[in-house]
Structure 1
Amino acid sequence: MVADVAQVAGRVSGGAPPRRASGARRAARLDALVGLAFVSPVVIGVIVLGLVPFGFVIWYAMHEWTPLIGQFDWVGLDNFSRLAADDAVRSSFVTTFQFAALLMVLNISLAMALALLLNQRLRGITTFRTFFFSPMVVSAVAWVVVWNYLVASNGGINGFLSVLGIDGPNWLRDPSWALVTLVVIQVFKGVGMNMILFLAALQGVPAELKESARIDGASPRRIFRSITLPLIAPTILLVTMITMIGAMDVFVPIQIMTQGGPGDSTMVISYLLYRTAFEQQDFGYASAIGVLLFVVVLGLAALQWSTRNRWVHDEV
């Protein structure tokens, strides 16, 4: 009788029975363990495949490492001091920024235009979506090899231009055209993914809002500027960051098509890193270039992320 009274008093005072409290704690611990089990593969992958190798890169950057002669000497920050005085590194970063800026403008603009077009309810629209997305599933090497033949001096593009009475340039051997040609090739390769992301965002815009604005007399351009763009701003941020990171790390088309030429007109920083490591066998200095590239890309991504509050208005 006394125990029953104590249990009732505990309930009245807001307390929980000991067994029920311990069961809730066990359930909470079990939920935490299940959550850790699900995220642990990703965390382990990031640590093993990302942080640990990057730590080794920093370590190698502080050494003079030439495997062919067995040299591995500690030099501290000397490799980073070389970076500050290396004209080739500065020139490569300028070329990389030019490549990235032009690619981002063309890729994002074309992806948005295609997404707006393919968001219409037209016959055969699924076929067009597949057509524009199909380059994404093609091997990057195969894609570049095919384009290498198309943009050759006697290739398919110049052959088509000759039919129109136009004498096309040597696209990959003219310093004025080489970088632009590579940008266009990369745009066609990657525009499909951004198009799909934009298309998914556009389909998530409530039709009721656009219909209400249309009834109030808003033009299609005003609806797009005042309703659609603000609602898809998070996707624009995502696409911008992904495209920027990919553009700063371009390698395959440079390696196969131009090898940094003609001259140094397409010598981006990633290809300079490759040549420093595997042609000059200066792995320590190449590691320092890699660290610098990582810091620059991280800084650009952080800058984009820090400005999101100015134009992404629906963050929680």
Structure 2
Amino acid sequence: MAIPTKASVDTAPAVPTEAPPRTARFIWTSRRRDQLAGYLFIAPQLIGSAVFVFLPLGLVFWYSLHEWNVLAGAFDYAGAANYQHLLDDPALPGVLTATGAFSAGLVAFNLSLALLLAVLLNQRMRGTVLFRTLFFSPVVVSLVAWTIVWGFLLQDNGGINGALQLVGVDGPNWLRGEATAMLSVIAVQVFKNVGLNMVLFLAALQGVPHELYEAASLDGAGRLRQFWRITVPMISPTILLTSIITVVGSLQVFAQIAVLTQGGPGTSTTVLVYYLYQQAFQFHQFGYGATLSVLLFAIVLVLTIVQWQLRRRWVFHES
């Protein structure tokens, strides 16, 4: 029996191995595998957005083109009739005025108070942790419970007027006067959510370099000038974020109006969302309610786009 030598082994023909199909090599490239992994990671968010955001938006627009009477079981195509009703609705200008007044007041008071509290609590003083907790605690309180408590406080014989009588002041009926009802609702909402914006501003303030203030002090700039020339520009991205969040939230207010004033006195506090609720769930005009939803979506979209486009004029790092 012949023993194979090294030369015979080296010259033996190699056994061919089966190469992967060319099509498989073309499809499963490393780039495609990375893309697939990325799509799998964002798939839950995409599915959630499609099911709970885009699909409801499409259905609302579809419903706005119909007359839908749930009690009668009628669902009839109406075309643009609901949108014509929107243009001819005599109550809509007052509703939009109340909505604008509420949003403007809420945004102005909320952002101003939140920034003031953040600046004060950013100082090195005793008890700042306690005050941060106190101002933020209403954010985690149930909205309905918070509103009910304030409803009792703002009654004619409630706690607010009781405290005013101790100093000889006869307080008004806060929730029944046209001049005070809107201010009362705004104040309740401001105190409820000011802590959230305060925390955001506080985080932004702590990221401002201390060297900028030291250099400004050496140049003779006072605290007020430092605030407008250093603090505001440096935290302007956070101001943009909080303004967008607050504007969108102010246009979606419902529970406060429903619990405190029910849109009254008269229609002075009937904002768009509450008017939508009345038309759809009290008067059973679901088609017109869907049309009001489309109007609300358009207003929120336009205001958000306007704020985003204007950021280049005043937001730091965006110019």
TM over 0.5: yes
> Which residue does the alignment assign to 2:131?
128
Are positions 1:76 and 2:96 aligned together? no
Are positions 1:256 and 2:265 aligned together? no
TM normalised by structure 1 equals: 0.90
Determine which of 298, 313, 316 is the counterpart of 2:316.
Answer: 313
Mapped to 2, the partners of 1:242 and 1:253 lie a distance apart of: 18
Are positions 1:40 and 2:43 aligned together? yes
Name stretches of at least 5 consecutive residues in structure 2 with no aligned partner.
1-24
Q: Which amino acid aligns with 2:123?
A: Q
Q: Which amino acid aligns with 2:281?
A: F
Mapped to 2, the partners of 1:217 and 1:31 lie a distance apart of: 55
Q: Which amino acid aligns with 2:144?
A: V
> Which residue does the alignment assign to 2:245?
242
| 1:110 partner SS | helix
Determine which of 81, 95, 107 is the counterpart of 2:98.
Answer: 95
Residue pair 2:155, 2:175 contacting (<8 A) in 1 also: yes
Q: Which amino acid aligns with 2:165?
A: S
Query: Residues 256-298 of structure 1, C-alpha deviation per residue, up to 9 Å, x if partnerless?
Result: 1111011111111100000101110010000001101110111
> Which residue does the alignment assign to 2:115?
112
Mapped to 1, the partners of 2:116 and 2:101 lie a distance apart of: 23
Residue pair 2:69, 2:75 contacting (<8 A) in 1 also: yes
Name stretches of at least 5 consecutive residues in structure 1 with no aligned partner.
1-21
Are positions 1:275 and 2:278 aligned together? yes
Instruction: Give the deviation of 1:37 after TM superposition.
Output: 2.1
Determine which of 136, 147, 152 is the counterpart of 1:149.
Answer: 152
> Which residue does the alignment assign to 2:168?
165
Q: Which amino acid aligns with 1:177?
A: T
Are positions 1:206 and 2:209 aligned together? yes
Mapped to 2, the partners of 1:208 and 1:28 lie a distance apart of: 45
| 1:168 partner SS | coil
Q: Which moved more, 1:209-218 or 1:100-109?
A: 209-218
Mapped to 2, the partners of 1:42 and 1:114 lie a distance apart of: 35
Instruction: Give the deviation of 1:227 after TM superposition.
Output: 1.3
Q: Which amino acid aligns with 1:69?
A: A
Instruction: Give the deviation of 1:90 after TM superposition.
Output: 1.7
Mapped to 1, the partners of 2:207 and 2:34 lie a distance apart of: 32
Mapped to 1, the partners of 2:216 and 2:45 lie a distance apart of: 44
Are positions 1:295 and 2:315 aligned together? no
Instruction: Give the deviation of 1:121 after TM superposition.
Output: 1.1
Q: Which amino acid aligns with 1:314?
A: H
| 1:73 partner SS | strand
Mapped to 1, the partners of 2:74 and 2:251 lie a distance apart of: 31
